[in-house]
């Protein structure tokens, strides 16, 4: 008797394939960024990227996101409507590096920039600052090429520290943190912004002195 996989088994196999493809896309983006950072160091004697974080969204988080949008939890809907299944976080030292890195990414011939959200110039009401790019990268499998969406977030070390704390707080309170905590977060975001500006000014002054030497 020939074995016929149950619908559930077929869905599991399909999800494993989707996971494989998104993981491959993350590896491609990660390698690209490392090469760009190495090249920048070679040419300019400076690394704009402090470190890179790669993250694949959990199936539970994806299902929750679809449910919040009133969508059925199918693999088709996951791929079509959830843009941050694969996420890359690029952490840089200074605010001036944010657009430099974004430009280097956009100039990659095999990447397509689908959308940009500049929360650096227009922060969220919470004080959140970051530069988001939604890109599409081709993943070459043995029998076909799959175009995969990857969300790239670019922010400074200070911004990342603040965003990490905000995420933990809002996760704990399920998006409804007490008002005094929300106000404290906004104040901290302002302090982070001031710190980033001061550190950038200090770095530019040091660089100017080095150039004069």
CA torsion through residues 83, 89, 94, 96, sign: negative
Closest CA to 134 of 150, 155, 146: 150
Cβ(159)–Cβ(192) below 8 Å:
yes
On whether the CB atoms of residues 169 and 148 are closer than 8 A, the answer is no
Q: Are 153 and 119 in contact (CB under 8 A)?
A: no
Lateral strand order in the sheet of 86-92: 49-56, 86-92, 145-156, 131-140, 112-118
Of 34, 151, 179, 204, the active-site residue reads: 151
Say whether 147 is catalytic. no
Q: What's the length of the chain? A: 213
Is the separation of the CB atoms in 161 and 89 below 8 Å?
Answer: no
Which candidate, 211, 201, 209, places its Cα nearest to that of 44? 211
Could you give the residue numbers annotated as active site? Answer: 151
């Amino acid at each position: 008797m020939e074995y016929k996989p149950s619908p559930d088994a077929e869905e599991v196999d399909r999800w494993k394939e989707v996971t494989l493809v998104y993981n491959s896309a993350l590896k491609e983006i990660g390698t690209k960024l490392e090469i760009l950072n190495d090249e920048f160091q070679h040419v300019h004697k400076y690394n704009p990227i402090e470190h890179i974080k790669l993250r694949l969204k959990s199936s539970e988080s994806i299902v929750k996101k679809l449910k919040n949008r009133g969508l059925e939890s199918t693999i088709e809907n996951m791929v079509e409507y959830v843009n941050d299944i694969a996420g890359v976080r690029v952490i840089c030292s200074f605010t001036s590096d944010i657009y430099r890195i974004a430009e280097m990414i956009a100039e990659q011939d095999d990447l397509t920039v689908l959308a940009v959200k500049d929360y650096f110039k227009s922060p969220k009401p919470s004080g959140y600052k970051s530069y988001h790019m939604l890109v599409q990268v081709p993943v070459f499998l043995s029998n076909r090429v799959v175009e995969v969406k990857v969300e790239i977030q670019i922010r400074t070390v200070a911004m990342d520290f603040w965003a990490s704390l905000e995420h933990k707080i809002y996760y704990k309170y399920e998006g409804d943190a007490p008002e005094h905590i929300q106000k404290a977060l906004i104040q901290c975001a302002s302090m982070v912004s001031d710190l980033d500006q001061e550190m950038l000014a200090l770095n530019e002054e040091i660089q100017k002195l080095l150039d004069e030497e």
